Amino acid sequence: MKPAVSRETSEPPAGSEKIFGESWQLAQTYAELLWTTGVENGLIGPREVPRLWSRHLLNCAAISSGFDPESRVCDVGSGAGLPGVVLALTRPDLELILLEPLLRRYEFLREAVESLGLSRVQVVRGRIEEQASGSFDAVTARAVAPLDRLVRWCLPRCRSGGRLVAMKGAKAEAELEACVPTLRRMDARSWRVRDFTLSTVDVTAVAVEIVAGDTGRA
Protein backbone atom coordinates (compact mmCIF):
# COMPACT_ATOMS: atom_id res chain seq x y z
CA MET A 1 0.00 0.00 0.00
CA LYS A 2 1.40 3.39 -0.97
CA PRO A 3 1.89 6.01 1.76
CA ALA A 4 -0.73 8.74 1.94
CA VAL A 5 1.32 11.50 0.41
CA SER A 6 -0.20 13.99 -1.99
CA ARG A 7 1.62 15.19 -5.07
CA GLU A 8 1.19 18.75 -3.81
CA THR A 9 3.60 18.09 -0.95
CA SER A 10 6.40 17.08 -3.28
CA GLU A 11 6.20 19.65 -6.08
CA PRO A 12 9.59 20.73 -7.50
CA PRO A 13 10.53 24.41 -7.10
CA ALA A 14 10.22 26.63 -10.15
CA GLY A 15 13.35 26.40 -12.26
CA SER A 16 14.10 22.78 -11.36
CA GLU A 17 13.61 21.71 -14.96
CA LYS A 18 16.58 23.87 -15.99
CA ILE A 19 18.84 21.94 -13.63
CA PHE A 20 17.94 18.54 -15.07
CA GLY A 21 17.58 19.58 -18.71
CA GLU A 22 16.80 16.64 -21.00
CA SER A 23 16.49 14.35 -17.95
CA TRP A 24 13.67 16.39 -16.43
CA GLN A 25 10.97 13.75 -16.96
CA LEU A 26 13.26 11.08 -15.54
CA ALA A 27 13.95 13.26 -12.49
CA GLN A 28 10.21 13.49 -11.82
CA THR A 29 9.88 9.73 -12.19
CA TYR A 30 12.73 9.21 -9.73
CA ALA A 31 11.13 11.64 -7.26
CA GLU A 32 7.92 9.60 -7.41
CA LEU A 33 9.89 6.40 -6.78
CA LEU A 34 11.41 8.02 -3.69
CA TRP A 35 8.17 9.23 -2.16
CA THR A 36 6.36 5.95 -2.85
CA THR A 37 8.60 2.88 -2.88
CA GLY A 38 11.40 4.74 -1.08
CA VAL A 39 9.15 5.72 1.80
CA GLU A 40 7.50 2.28 1.94
CA ASN A 41 10.93 0.65 2.28
CA GLY A 42 12.24 3.11 4.85
CA LEU A 43 14.83 4.71 2.56
CA ILE A 44 13.21 8.12 2.86
CA GLY A 45 11.30 9.23 5.96
CA PRO A 46 7.69 10.39 5.38
CA ARG A 47 8.54 13.76 6.91
CA GLU A 48 11.17 14.30 4.23
CA VAL A 49 8.65 14.18 1.39
CA PRO A 50 7.60 17.87 1.54
CA ARG A 51 11.27 18.89 1.12
CA LEU A 52 12.28 16.04 -1.17
CA TRP A 53 13.29 18.34 -4.00
CA SER A 54 15.07 21.12 -2.13
CA ARG A 55 16.82 19.07 0.55
CA HIS A 56 17.57 15.93 -1.43
CA LEU A 57 17.28 16.01 -5.23
CA LEU A 58 18.43 19.57 -5.88
CA ASN A 59 20.94 19.46 -3.04
CA CYS A 60 22.56 16.47 -4.75
CA ALA A 61 22.28 18.05 -8.21
CA ALA A 62 24.30 21.00 -6.93
CA ILE A 63 27.52 18.98 -6.74
CA SER A 64 27.30 17.91 -10.40
CA SER A 65 29.91 20.47 -11.40
CA GLY A 66 32.45 18.88 -9.04
CA PHE A 67 33.44 16.07 -11.41
CA ASP A 68 35.63 16.04 -14.51
CA PRO A 69 34.07 14.98 -17.84
CA GLU A 70 33.76 11.23 -18.45
CA SER A 71 34.86 10.40 -14.89
CA ARG A 72 34.30 7.02 -13.27
CA VAL A 73 32.55 7.93 -10.03
CA CYS A 74 31.62 5.72 -7.07
CA ASP A 75 28.72 6.72 -4.81
CA VAL A 76 29.52 5.07 -1.47
CA GLY A 77 26.60 3.85 0.64
CA SER A 78 24.28 5.03 -2.09
CA GLY A 79 21.12 4.13 -0.17
CA ALA A 80 18.22 5.67 -2.10
CA GLY A 81 20.59 6.83 -4.85
CA LEU A 82 21.54 10.17 -3.34
CA PRO A 83 23.64 11.58 -4.86
CA GLY A 84 24.45 8.81 -7.39
CA VAL A 85 21.18 8.63 -9.32
CA VAL A 86 20.88 12.41 -9.38
CA LEU A 87 24.41 12.67 -10.80
CA ALA A 88 23.48 10.15 -13.49
CA LEU A 89 20.56 12.40 -14.48
CA THR A 90 22.44 15.69 -14.44
CA ARG A 91 25.77 14.36 -15.77
CA PRO A 92 25.06 11.60 -18.31
CA ASP A 93 28.74 11.67 -19.32
CA LEU A 94 29.76 10.10 -16.01
CA GLU A 95 30.16 6.39 -15.39
CA LEU A 96 28.45 5.82 -12.03
CA ILE A 97 28.91 2.92 -9.63
CA LEU A 98 26.27 2.87 -6.88
CA LEU A 99 27.83 0.94 -4.01
CA GLU A 100 25.45 -0.29 -1.32
CA PRO A 101 25.94 -3.14 1.18
CA LEU A 102 22.34 -3.51 2.42
CA LEU A 103 20.10 -5.81 0.37
CA ARG A 104 16.87 -3.79 0.59
CA ARG A 105 18.60 -0.62 -0.58
CA TYR A 106 20.54 -2.50 -3.24
CA GLU A 107 17.29 -3.90 -4.65
CA PHE A 108 15.67 -0.45 -4.66
CA LEU A 109 18.64 0.97 -6.55
CA ARG A 110 18.47 -1.79 -9.14
CA GLU A 111 14.76 -1.11 -9.64
CA ALA A 112 15.36 2.63 -9.94
CA VAL A 113 18.23 2.29 -12.43
CA GLU A 114 16.23 -0.13 -14.57
CA SER A 115 13.08 2.02 -14.45
CA LEU A 116 15.01 5.13 -15.47
CA GLY A 117 17.02 3.37 -18.17
CA LEU A 118 20.37 4.58 -16.83
CA SER A 119 22.74 2.64 -19.06
CA ARG A 120 25.93 4.14 -17.60
CA VAL A 121 25.06 3.22 -14.02
CA GLN A 122 26.08 -0.01 -12.30
CA VAL A 123 24.62 -1.07 -8.96
CA VAL A 124 27.04 -3.09 -6.82
CA ARG A 125 26.32 -4.70 -3.48
CA GLY A 126 29.39 -4.23 -1.33
CA ARG A 127 31.60 -1.85 0.64
CA ILE A 128 34.19 0.64 -0.51
CA GLU A 129 36.92 -1.16 1.45
CA GLU A 130 36.44 -4.15 -0.86
CA GLN A 131 37.23 -2.12 -3.99
CA ALA A 132 40.70 -2.11 -5.53
CA SER A 133 43.08 0.78 -4.87
CA GLY A 134 42.93 3.50 -7.49
CA SER A 135 39.67 2.18 -8.94
CA PHE A 136 37.91 5.51 -9.41
CA ASP A 137 38.42 9.02 -10.76
CA ALA A 138 36.20 10.25 -7.94
CA VAL A 139 34.32 8.96 -4.93
CA THR A 140 31.32 10.70 -3.40
CA ALA A 141 29.20 10.08 -0.32
CA ARG A 142 26.31 11.69 1.52
CA ALA A 143 25.42 11.05 5.17
CA VAL A 144 27.51 7.87 5.34
CA ALA A 145 30.17 8.37 8.03
CA PRO A 146 32.29 10.99 9.82
CA LEU A 147 34.84 12.56 7.49
CA ASP A 148 37.93 10.99 9.08
CA ARG A 149 36.54 7.49 8.62
CA LEU A 150 35.27 8.31 5.14
CA VAL A 151 38.72 9.53 4.10
CA ARG A 152 40.41 6.36 5.32
CA TRP A 153 37.90 4.22 3.42
CA CYS A 154 37.62 6.19 0.19
CA LEU A 155 40.81 8.09 -0.60
CA PRO A 156 42.89 4.95 -1.33
CA ARG A 157 40.28 3.96 -3.92
CA CYS A 158 40.81 7.19 -5.87
CA ARG A 159 43.43 7.27 -8.59
CA SER A 160 46.34 9.67 -8.19
CA GLY A 161 44.89 13.14 -8.65
CA GLY A 162 41.35 11.82 -8.20
CA ARG A 163 39.06 13.31 -5.63
CA LEU A 164 36.73 12.56 -2.79
CA VAL A 165 33.64 14.79 -2.77
CA ALA A 166 32.00 14.25 0.62
CA MET A 167 28.68 16.02 1.07
CA LYS A 168 28.53 17.60 4.50
CA GLY A 169 26.59 20.28 6.38
CA ALA A 170 27.24 23.10 8.79
CA LYS A 171 30.06 21.22 10.56
CA ALA A 172 32.10 20.67 7.40
CA GLU A 173 34.88 23.09 8.40
CA ALA A 174 35.27 21.54 11.85
CA GLU A 175 35.28 18.00 10.46
CA LEU A 176 37.91 18.92 7.89
CA GLU A 177 40.14 20.60 10.45
CA ALA A 178 40.02 17.53 12.70
CA CYS A 179 40.85 15.34 9.70
CA VAL A 180 44.00 17.18 8.60
CA PRO A 181 46.45 14.78 10.37
CA THR A 182 44.87 11.85 8.54
CA LEU A 183 45.02 13.70 5.22
CA ARG A 184 48.71 14.46 5.69
CA ARG A 185 49.46 10.87 6.65
CA MET A 186 47.70 9.71 3.49
CA ASP A 187 49.61 12.19 1.32
CA ALA A 188 46.49 13.99 0.10
CA ARG A 189 47.44 16.77 -2.31
CA SER A 190 44.86 19.33 -1.24
CA TRP A 191 41.62 19.75 0.65
CA ARG A 192 38.95 22.40 1.06
CA VAL A 193 35.32 23.02 1.93
CA ARG A 194 33.45 23.96 -1.20
CA ASP A 195 29.99 25.49 -1.66
CA PHE A 196 28.06 24.38 -4.75
CA THR A 197 25.23 26.81 -5.48
CA LEU A 198 22.28 26.46 -7.85
CA SER A 199 21.16 30.07 -8.12
CA THR A 200 18.18 29.13 -10.30
CA VAL A 201 16.50 27.34 -7.41
CA ASP A 202 18.37 28.98 -4.49
CA VAL A 203 19.97 25.75 -3.27
CA THR A 204 23.51 25.41 -1.91
CA ALA A 205 25.26 22.14 -1.11
CA VAL A 206 28.35 22.01 1.10
CA ALA A 207 31.01 19.42 0.37
CA VAL A 208 34.54 18.63 1.46
CA GLU A 209 36.70 18.14 -1.63
CA ILE A 210 39.95 16.20 -1.20
CA VAL A 211 42.45 15.46 -3.98
CA ALA A 212 44.29 12.15 -3.65
CA GLY A 213 48.09 12.00 -3.78
CA ASP A 214 50.31 9.47 -5.49
CA THR A 215 50.14 6.83 -2.78
CA GLY A 216 46.68 7.13 -1.23
CA ARG A 217 47.92 5.01 1.63
CA ALA A 218 45.83 4.55 4.77
Q: Determine the average pLDDT of the residues in 206-216.
A: 87
The mean of the pLDDT values for the chain is 93
Q: Per-residue DSSP letters for the chain?
A: ------GGGGPPPTTHHHHHGGGHHHHHHHHHHIIIIIHHTTSS-GGGGGGIIIIIIHHHHGGGGGS-TT-EEEEET-TTTTTHHHHHHH-TTSEEEEE--SHHHHHHHHHHHHHHT-TTEEEE-S-GGGSPTT-EEEEEEESSS-HHHHHHHHGGGEEEEEEEEEEE-TTHHHHHHHHHHHHHHTT--EEEEEEEEETTTTEEEEEEEEE--SS---
Q: Are strands 72-76 and 203-211 parallel, antiparallel or unpaired?
A: unpaired
Shortest CA distance to 30 belongs to which of 73, 91, 103, 81? 81
Prior bond of 83 cis (ω within 30°): yes
Q: Determine the average pLDDT of the residues in 42-55.
A: 92
Domain 14-125+134-211 coded CATH 3.30.2350.10: no
C-alpha span between 134 and 139 (Å, rounded): 11
How much is the pLDDT for 9?
53
Q: What are the domain boundaries of the chain? A: 14-125+134-211
Q: What is the pLDDT of residues 99-131, one digit of tens each?
A: 999 999 999 999 999 999 999 999 999 999 999
At residue 6 the predicted structure's pLDDT band, cuts being 50, 70 and 90, is: very low
Q: Is the pLDDT confidence value at 192 over 70?
A: yes
